[in-house]
Structure formats: C-alpha cells, structure tokens
Structure 1
C-alpha cells in the first residue's frame, strides 16, 4: 500500500525531505513560492545582487515521482492539509516545515520572487550610496553581513552593535574572540555590551540615528536591523495541545510532534526541538525524519522509533566573513579561514542546493 506524505513548506527541511522520500513514498510538497530561496547567499547578495541568479532556484526539477504544489496551506489536520483555495491534500503523515522570517532583504516578506529581487536591488543601491553603515544585532546574519560588506566595499565605515558582551557567548570564547579580531582588522568597529535604541524600523534597512546605553547618539547613512528570526508558525497554532515558545516556535515532543495529533510533525525553524534556527539543524533532523516516516509507512509504532536527539550546544556554526575569511565552530574545535572558506565561504553551498533542486 502506497504511503502518502504531505510536506508544508519548501525550505531546507521541506525540499530535502521531499527529495529523499521521492522514490519510496508518494510525496506532495506544498510551497507558495516559485523558487527556493537559499538564505545564506542572500547575505552576500546584498553586496553582489548577481548572486541571486544562482541562489534563487526553481522548484520544477526537485521531484521525479512526487509533485510540488504551488499554493499556501490554510490548515492541517490528522488526514492532510487544506489549501487556501480549498483544495485538499490527503496524507498518512504530515510534516510542517514553514520556516521563519527575517529582516529584509535576507528573506522574502511574501511569495513574489520578482518583488524580492526588486527589494534586493533597492537595498544594494542604498548600500552603494552609504558611507556609514550600522548593523544592529551580532548574530550569524549580522556578523556575516559585516564581513561581506567589509570585503566587497572596504571604503564603508561599518559599525556592528550588540547588547551581548562578546560575539557568540554561547560558543567557546576563542570563537568569538577570533571573529572579533578578524572584523576589526577588516575595519569594522564593534560596539559590544550596549543595546541600540531608536530603530525606526525593525525589519527594513533605513537611514537614521541610534542611541546607546552610554547616552551617545550616532547617525548612519544606512542601518541594517538583524535582530533574529521569527518562526512562521500560524499553520500550527490551531492544532490541539499546541504550545508556543520563544520567537514564535512551536514546542514539540521527543518525536517532533507539535500537538496531540499522532501523525503530524514539525521540523526546522518552526519547531522548538532544542536546535538553533540554522541550516545545521536540518542535517540532524532530516535523517531522523526520513527514517521515522518510512518506518511508520511499514507499520512500526512511533513509540518504538528512537526519539529525536537535538544538536544542543555542540551544534556547528560556519561563519564566513566574505569569500576568503571567517571562523567555524565544529563541535570539538574552532577552524579558521581555510576550512571556513572551503566548507562554506567560497560557494555558500549554492552548488549543493542547485544540485538538490535538479538545476545545472
């Protein structure tokens, strides 16, 4: 008997899970956008908009047996997914992987890829015209953005601001210290341990002034708010027993179930499973989901399947500062420029995801 699996969301979890199950189950991937948005490349795309031609990847080559339905899901239940246009996708198991939103222009605000390209072009023009640039928030996006701008536009005066006393305080101190020194050598000014006040917009780049905790005022030609992602969890909110955690993420049980429905799973950024909101989390969740879903298709009770074990504090973090430099935390060691460049910095995994989606 054929196993039917519906996946809501075509991001890093959804697209790769659909591909991995394509030959073994009847898979339907529901995704409202025409193109996969390869988010790490969107950071570099701010300084190099031509990169979008390779990093916005059509879905039409992803599946051979299954199908990609271009639509937005309206609701989920124990027997499938209902779309906004009223169509019904029946399924034995449902995976919700609707991802997260971030500030412009790192992720699209809507489903229109042409509008996203236009937004990228607008912000790139703002950046070209600016002399003084502030980045508020020194997580992965903010820190990478500082490195990309410093590499591609060394004439800009860049300030990276964080309320944390050091970069990446959840990682070993050497990791943040090395990144700090590399940024400073590239001409980036770091203001750490002071929250910036006065942001006119929390999601869009804009010109303006910022006030720091020490009472000082600073004016910038362009300010990038990079204050973290927020989960796109609306699709799960109405399910029985759902609990919402930080950043809008939905709490899940040890088998990645967000509710009392036994055959509905949540994964990736939308799921508060003990992993950070990074692509690295998918490298652990994907094989578990694939094995669990196929085992369910063979009649194995879920309780007999080993529960999911998150990365926790050992989760790797690859942080390029442009195509040549950067640092990486690899769980048991910190790597420098060479490994960071070879693993991620040179190509940002663009080839990998173009291959995944069947594009040359």
Structure 2
C-alpha cells in the first residue's frame, strides 16, 4: 500500500520532491501560488522583463498521479496538514519546504503572482530612468543583481554596499576576490565593510540618500535593499519544541526533523542544516530526501549529506 505524502511548499525542493515521488506514493503538494517562481531568472528579469513568462512556471502540469492544492497550510500534526480553510490533508509523511521571502520583485508577496508581474514592470521602469543605482547587501541576490545591471545597462553607475569586509566571506577567499575583480571590471563600485544606517525600506526599491557607518552620504536614483532572506517558518512554529535560529529558520536534527514527530521533516531554506539559503544548499538536501538511507519514522540510516538506499521512495513503497 503506497504511502500518503504531503509536501508543504512548491519551491525548488518541494516541487522536485513531489515530482520524484509521483509514481511511487500518493503525493499532495500544498502551495498557495499558481506558479513556480524561478528565483535566479527573476533577478535578470529586472533588467529584461521579457524573461518573466519563462521564469514563472504553472503548477498545473507538475504531477501526473498526485494532486496540487492551491492553499496555505495553517497547522501540522502527526496525522496530516490543516489548510487555512479548515480542510484536512491526511498524510503518513509530511515535508515542510515553505522557502523564504526576499525583497521585491525577486519573490512574490504571498501568493500574488499578478502583483509580482506588476512589481517587475514598475521597478524595471524605475531602473531604466535611474542613473545612480545603490544595492545594499552583497549576498547571492545583491551580487547577481549588480552584475546583471552592469552588463545589460552599462550606462548606469552601480554601487554595491556590504557590511562584510569581503564578498562571500564564509566561502573560500578566491571566490570573493574573483567576483570583486569581475564586478569592478564591469564598472561596479564596491563599498565593503560599511553598514547602511538609514534604509527606508527593507523590501522595496526606492530613491534616496544612504548614510553609511563611516558617516559618508551617498545619493541614489534607485536603492535596492537585498540584505538577506527570511525563512517562511510560521507553519512549523505550530509544532511543540520547535526552535528558531537566525533569519527565522528552524533548527532540525541530522535527519531533518524539526520536532519530536518522527514523520515530519523540514527542507530547503526553512530548515537550518548549517548551509546558507541558496539553491546550491537545497540541491544537497534533495538527494538525501529522495535517496537517503533512512526510512521515515526511524532514527537509523544516513543523515543529511550521506547517500545510500532510498528514503522518501522507500517510505512511499511501504
């Protein structure tokens, strides 16, 4: 008898996991948005809105056997998921992969895909009209955005500001120094080791002046605040014993369980497994989820990052 598996969140790990298990389990994907949002393409779409339709992929053709429910999960327990309208989705195994939020227009606010498209068009027009661009935050989004603007719009004066002394300081130094050299060659001004003291918005681009920690003032026609993502962990907070770490993420054990419930797992950006919130980090979790050596509900077998016999697929075949 196949297992019933509920997956909450249809981002990179949730959608791929649902598709991987579609033939071997009764899969229900719970996702309020109508479209999968390809986040890296959304950065490029700020300078080239023609990419938008290719960056937004409908969920309606994702699964052949399973189902996609367009709703938000309100609560989770050992037997399933309660949706915001009170409907129950019964499940043997539950995976929460609700992802993270970022500044517009890189991810939608809630489930509003139409609003995301409108934000993209509005901010693209603001970018076209701007001469001096400030980007606050030099993580994956900020660095990529600086590169995209400098490449597609070389007439713009782009300044990338970070409170860190180097780009990607937790990674090998060669990566940060190489990226810095490429950005400078493209005409991007880097201001490192300086915190912006007076951001007017943490989520929406705006025109204004930035005061840095050293007291210097910098005027910009458009400021992009991209100082980091925050996990969408609210539904996991309904579980007893859940602990938050930084950026709203949820602490998990070596088998990606956020609580004492053996059949509830957290994955992707929402789960703090020691990696940053990046697609690369998520890709390291997915093989474990599909091919890891642990049968759901047990403590033995492989941990995250180890690869052996099937985990989700074996659970699905029980």
User: TM tier, shorter chain?
Assistant: over 0.9
Show the 5 A alignment for 1:96-245.
96-245=96-245
- Displacement of 1:292: 5.0
169-178 vs 95-104, which moves further: 169-178
The answer to whether the aligner puts 1:23 opposite 2:19 as a matched pair is no
Secondary structure, aligned partner of 2:106:
coil
Q: Is the 8 A contact 2:97 2:269 kept in 1?
A: yes
Instruction: Map Cα deviations across residues 317-354 of structure 1 (whole Å, 9 max, x no partner).
Output: xxxxxxxxxxxxxxxxxxxxxxxxxxxxxxxxxxxxxx
Show the 5 A alignment for 1:326-337.
none
Secondary structure, aligned partner of 2:238:
coil
Instruction: Map Cα deviations across residues 127-185 of structure 1 (whole Å, 9 max, x no partner).
Output: 00100000001111101000000000000011001111111111222211111111111
1:254 & 1:136 partners in 2: Cα distance?
34
- Displacement of 1:267: 0.4
- Number of aligned positions between the proteins: 306
Show the 5 A alignment for 1:2-41.
2-41=2-41
TM-score, with length taken from structure 2: 0.94
TM-score, with length taken from structure 1: 0.83
- Displacement of 1:304: 2.2
Show the 5 A alignment for 1:44-59.
44-59=44-59
The answer to whether the aligner puts 1:307 opposite 2:296 as a matched pair is no
1:293 & 1:54 partners in 2: Cα distance?
36
Instruction: Map Cα deviations across residues 42-84 of structure 1 (whole Å, 9 max, x no partner).
Output: 1001000110110100011111111111111111000000111
1:207 & 1:85 partners in 2: Cα distance?
40
Q: Which residue of the partner structure matches residue 278 of structure 2? A: 278
| Runs of at least 5 residues in structure 1 that lack an aligned partner in the other structure | 311-360
Q: Which residue of the partner structure matches residue 358 of structure 1? A: none
Deviant stretches of 4+, over 6 Å: none
| Runs of at least 5 residues in structure 2 that lack an aligned partner in the other structure | 307-318
Secondary structure, aligned partner of 1:303:
coil
Q: Is the 8 A contact 2:104 2:204 kept in 1?
A: yes
2:94 & 2:103 partners in 1: Cα distance?
29
- Displacement of 1:213: 2.1
Q: Is the 8 A contact 2:293 2:302 kept in 1?
A: no
Q: Is the 8 A contact 2:207 2:222 kept in 1?
A: yes
